[in-house]
Chain A
Amino acid sequence: MADARLRAALRTLLGDLRRFAYGLSGNGADADDLLQATVVRLLEKGVPDDADIRRWALRVCRNLWIDMIRAKRPNVSWDEAPEAADSAVDGETAAMARIELNQVQAAIAQLPPDQREVLSLVAVNGLSYREAAEIAEVPIGTIMSRLARARGALAERLGQAGEQAGDKGQGKRPGGKRIES
């Protein structure tokens, strides 16, 4: 694929690829390192003319991530989430949004990486099970069972978190300070 075309395609794919990288790595800095390395690799090695560039890029990203894990990168965590969009109007809304965000992060953090990978491919990147199976290099049945475990676990944890938040709702204080969960 010609370089100019490849770059143009990558520009449109960047957001998609970045969310995938974030799903794998769990924090913004590593996600961007991974994204950057993916783009560099794609520009360096190119993409075969007959390949679907989106799937190809996701696969390159995923393989680089595996290299990174094998090279024993320190800890992978969801502790450092990217800055939440500053859209909340008042302090209380902001505080509640942060609480919810933290609960979601905590729930996601407990998912094994292979489940996060599959959930990202299917739910975030919109791939079919067959496409996801090709990228993750597992049978479709494995995709289905990982998806079921991932969504099931998230549903359970978010359900619990929702109940707790409901119980504590009255004691919530206004004022926009970060409330650690």
Chain B
Amino acid sequence: MTISDEVLNAYLDGELEAGDMEAVDRALATDETVVARLAALAEADRAYISELAAIDARPLPSGLDDLLADPVPESGARVLAFPGKARWDRLRPYFVPTAAAASITAIIGFGVGFAVGPGSGAVADPFTALSRGTTPVIAMLDERESGQIVDIGHGMSAQVRLTFPAADGNLCREFDVQSPKAAAAGIACRSDKGWDIRLAARQSAPAQGTGYVTAASADDPVFGRAVEALMAGDPLDGEAETAAIKNGWQKPLVEKK
């Protein structure tokens, strides 16, 4: 008798009814071609399984450990938030292990950045607001000078820390967002389409007591290194920054003293 591959597969996978299982058993007892075919299919399976297991030898991305570790502080409901769906494939996230920087629970970098658009919904979490580039955050990046504290709603405040040129000549801004419960810091860089969020770091939960969490800054070793990697020149002074705002961030400016 001939037995189809589908039946032999179902036999391999334990998906046959008892009666059919016995029929295959009988065929296997008497027909060498059935035996050979079943062996070939099982061998194909084995090869496939062991090939996929080859990825086990590759070290896990370090960020996964951080994502899946139980948080040291109690909060941690959302370890990381990625911006809008369907764009994730453009992102090349990397996660810096926390060992070096106790204050940062997660930091993600976006290789090419992602253009942030309007319409990001109401968000009460600093990291989410920052990484998504909510409308008030973008407005701040567009209009505010460094050091101005801006109320961005939902109990959060934000400020730009400094503005600096990137290697491609465009300007970037380091900024942070804080709430009484959490804080986040990030870098946004200007492109011709608008602001791209290039880096977003979440702060750990606040120490007990009230008061704001201190946002990451260039003083923080991990965040500082990430900033340095993006910086291609000295930060702009107040005058140059004001000019860039007036200029609508349209072109990289060369300030003549």
Contact = CB atoms under 8 A, between A and B. Distances in A.
Interface of A: 3-4, 7-8, 10-11, 14-15, 18-20, 22-23, 28, 31-33, 35-37, 39-41, 43-44, 64, 67-68, 71, 73, 81-86, 101, 104-105, 107-108, 119-120, 122-124, 128-129, 144-145, 147-148, 150-152, 154-155, 158-159
B15 A151 contact: no
Contact of A147 (B6, B61, B63): B6
Contacts of A84: 54, 57
Contact of A64 (B57, B69, B88): B88
B82 A37 contact: yes
B89 interface: yes
A84 B57 CA distance: 7
Nearest to A68: B89
A30 B47 CA distance: 21
Interface string B53-71: 1111110110110011110
Contact of B68 (A7, A37, A105): A7
Max chain A C-beta neighbours (<10 A), residue from B41, B51, B58, B78: B51
Interface string B83-94: 001111110110
Nearest to B93: A36
Contacts of A39: 64, 67-68
Given A123-B49, A158-B43, 6 more contacts: A23-B48, A71-B87, A124-B48, A128-B15, A129-B13, A152-B44
Main secondary structure of the interface of A (DSSP, over half): helix
A20 B174 CA distance: 38
Contacts of B86: 67, 71
Contacts of B47: 104, 107, 154, 158
Nearest to A72: B89
Max chain B C-beta neighbours (<10 A), residue from A23, A83, A123: A123
B79 interface: yes
B44 A40 contact: no
Interface residues of B, number: 47
Given A44-B80, A104-B47, A71 B64 contact: no
The 6 closest A-B pairs by CB, nearest first: A154-B44, A82-B58, A155-B40, A148-B5, A155-B44, A22-B55
A103 to B, nearest CB: 9
Interface in B17-64: 40-41, 43-45, 47-58, 60-61, 63-64
B88 A129 contact: no
A158 B5 contact: no
A101 B6 contact: no
B217 interface: no
Given A10-B68, A44-B80, A152-B41, A71 B6 contact: no
B68 A35 contact: no
